[in-house]
């Protein structure tokens, strides 16, 4: 590559991790080789579900962009925190009454579930993080008292129920929240004002003022990566990405299962 890139940002699930949801040897090797370039994990995950990856990569001092940009951390400092208002959370909980939909509630490194059901255990397996069991009512009461909101709300359930909930929330709260279907049985909900693109811009302004967006490489695979990939100097989609992502990517690399990110990084010096 003839361009000199000064910042690397990568989505995690479906992009950086392999089929076993782990960092491959090749990926770790290439990121460590490029340790002079900041490598930032940018994901819908909570920080706790990203830190163990940073330890494996040996870059625990690097920033973390969690919750699709809802929370930006650098060296244990909160650069930006954007939460969903509790009135919206109450509305979502009410809409899920009399359904089988599971709601996971997240704030910073807190993850609350009403029970350790199929959906909670699936996320434990995916992220290597364990939630705290707490009723929605108790979480709301605690967060009201502590003046907190949700960095992310995740609704999981049968596809027909998730479809109905998605369309209901889209009609009622479109000005306040972003709804993202990472799977047909999932809705990930964030504050309307945030995105991975705006998060990178905020991080650069705060931590790397001498870096321009054109000097950033970003990797992704899904709808919530599109804005980011279009905005940076080199937006790379893995081959297994959604069709819309493949269309807008400046480059397409191999799949996440075949070390696609590592193959692009091997071209950098």
Mean pLDDT by 10 residues, the chain (269 residues): 84 95 96 96 96 95 96 93 95 93 96 95 91 95 95 96 96 93 91 96 96 97 95 97 96 97 95
CATH number of 86-191: 3.30.1240.10
> What's the pLDDT score for residue 3?
67
- CB-based contacts of 33, cutoff 8 Å, min separation 6: 265
Q: In whole angstroms, what is the distance from residue 114 CA to residue 101 CA? A: 11
CATH topology of domain 7-81+194-265: Rossmann fold (3.40.50)
Task: Count Cβ neighbours within 10 Å for each residue of 195-209 and write b for 16 or more, e otherwise.
Answer: bbbbbbbbbbeebbe
> What's the pLDDT score for residue 49?
94
* Other beta carbons less than 10 A from residue 249's beta carbon: 23
Instruction: State the pairing for strand pair 152-156/102-107.
Output: antiparallel
The residue extents of the domains of the chain are 7-81+194-265, 86-191
Provide the 3-class DSSP secondary structure of residue 111. strand
Prediction pTM value: 0.93
> What's the pLDDT score for residue 257?
96
């Amino acid at each position: 590559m003839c361009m000199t890139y000064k910042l690397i940002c990568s989505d995690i699930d479906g992009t950086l991790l392999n089929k076993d949801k782990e960092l491959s040897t090749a990926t770790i090797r290439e990121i460590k080789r490029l340790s002079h370039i900041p490598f930032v994990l940018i994901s819908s995950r909570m920080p706790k579900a990203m830190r163990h990856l940073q330890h494996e990569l040996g870059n625990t001092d690097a920033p973390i962009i969690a919750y699709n940009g809802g929370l930006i951390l650098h060296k244990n400092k909160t650069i930006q925190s954007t939460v969903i208002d509790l009135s919206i959370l109450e509305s979502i909980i009410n809409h899920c009454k009399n359904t089988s939909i599971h709601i996971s509630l997240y704030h910073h490194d807190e993850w609350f579930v009403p029970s350790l059901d199929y959906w909670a255990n699936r996320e434990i397996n995916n992220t290597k993080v364990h939630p705290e069991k707490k009723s929605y009512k108790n979480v709301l009461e605690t967060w009201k008292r502590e003046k907190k909101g949700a960095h992310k709300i995740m609704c999981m359930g049968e596809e027909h129920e998730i479809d109905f909930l998605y369309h209901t929330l889209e009609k009622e709260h479109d000005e306040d929240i972003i709804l993202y279907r990472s799977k047909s049985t999932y809705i990930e909900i964030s504050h309307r004002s945030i995105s991975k693109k705006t998060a990178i811009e905020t991080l650069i302004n705060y931590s790397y003022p001498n870096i321009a967006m054109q000097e950033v490489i970003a990797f992704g695979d899904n709808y919530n990566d599109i804005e980011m990939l279009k905005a940076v100097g080199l937006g790379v989609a893995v081959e297994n990405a959604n069709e819309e992502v493949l269309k807008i990517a400046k480059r397409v690399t191999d799949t996440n299962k075949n070390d696609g990110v590592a193959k692009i990084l091997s071209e950098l010096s």
